[in-house]
A and B are shown apart, each in its own frame.
Chain A
Amino acid sequence: GENVEQHPSTLSVQEGDSAVIKCTYSDSASNYFPWYKQELGKGPQLIIDIRSNVGEKKDQRIAVTLNKTAKHFSLHITETQPEDSAVYFCAARWDKIIFGKGTRLHILP
């Protein structure tokens, strides 16, 4: 069935360092992979997405890479800042959007 695995569940990095979150998906029929950020007390918000015909996409300090052969995609955040502390969800779309279980990112001062 349709499934998205996300790792790690918790990640702590020093402010200014990079953070990487990895996801795998079960069914190669998926063609759209969004990432959402959820801050405390709020609903998730889209921060970046990638489609299956693209291998990498960047938006300032955030980048996403996709390896369709391996059914694997990753979120990279460079030069982390305190406001990057949040829960991040990867997702894949089939006839519906399925989310991973989330990664709680802590930025340490």
Chain B
Amino acid sequence: KAGVTQTPRYLIKTRGQQVTLSCSPISGHRSVSWYQQTPGQGLQFLFEYFSETQRNKGNFPGRFSGRQFSNSRSEMNVSTLELGDSALYLCASSLTVTSGTGELFFGEGSRLTVL
């Protein structure tokens, strides 16, 4: 069974640009969550999608957005990049919404560097 796939794995952008990251969940999983990981802040919740609907959103500015498609694949977008957006962006899938039971299965992440 294939795991969670995130693309691209590494990318470098400059300030002011925008970026789109992609996540393909485990087959059959309908919930996708996104987290930002930085050395000082650990794993910070960005948002969660279930059946193409955003269920929850973390405390990030509106420059961070996402969506989910009918096949459960998800994308997140960051516009007008800032230096502080440099981080590892992790996607996690689960069978049901994370307010229910169930384990989060993480991808290996997309490492974004903003210059």
B107: CB under 8 A from chain A?
yes
Tell me the minimal C-beta distance from A56 to chain B in angstroms: 20
| Contact between chains at A89 and B42 (CB < 8 Å) | yes
Number of residues from A at the complex interface, CB < 8 A: 22
Is B20 located at the chain interface by the 8 A CB criterion?
Answer: no
Size category of the B interface is: 20 to 34
Known: A46-B104, A101-B41. A93 touches B90 (CB 8 A): no
Q: How far is the CA of A80 from the CA of B109 in the complex (A)?
A: 28
Q: Indicate if the CB atoms of A95 and B43 lie closer than 8 Å.
A: no
The A interface, classified by DSSP as helix, strand, loop or mixed, is strand
**Who on chain B is nearest to A97 by CB?**
B98
Residue interface bits A86-106, CB-to-B below 8 A is 1, else 0:
000100011111111110000
Looking at A37-45, A58-66, A67-75, the stretch in contact with chain B turns out to be A37-45
The residue on B at minimum CB distance from A6 is: B42
Interface residue ranges of B41-62 to A (CB < 8 Å) = 41-45, 48, 55-56, 58
Chain B nearest Cβ from A87, distance in angstroms:
9
Decide: A98 and B45 in contact? CB cutoff 8 A.
yes
Q: Which residue of A lies closest to B6 (CB)?
A: A43
B72 at the interface (CB under 8 A from A): no
Contact A43 B107 (CB under 8 A): yes
Known: A42-B108, A46-B104, A96-B33. A89 touches B99 (CB 8 A): no
Q: Which 7 A-B pairs have the closest CB atoms?
A: A43-B106, A101-B42, A99-B43, A96-B56, A102-B42, A46-B103, A95-B99
Contacts A96-B58, A98-B45 known; 4 new A-B pairs at CB < 8 A: A6-B42, A42-B108, A43-B90, A96-B56
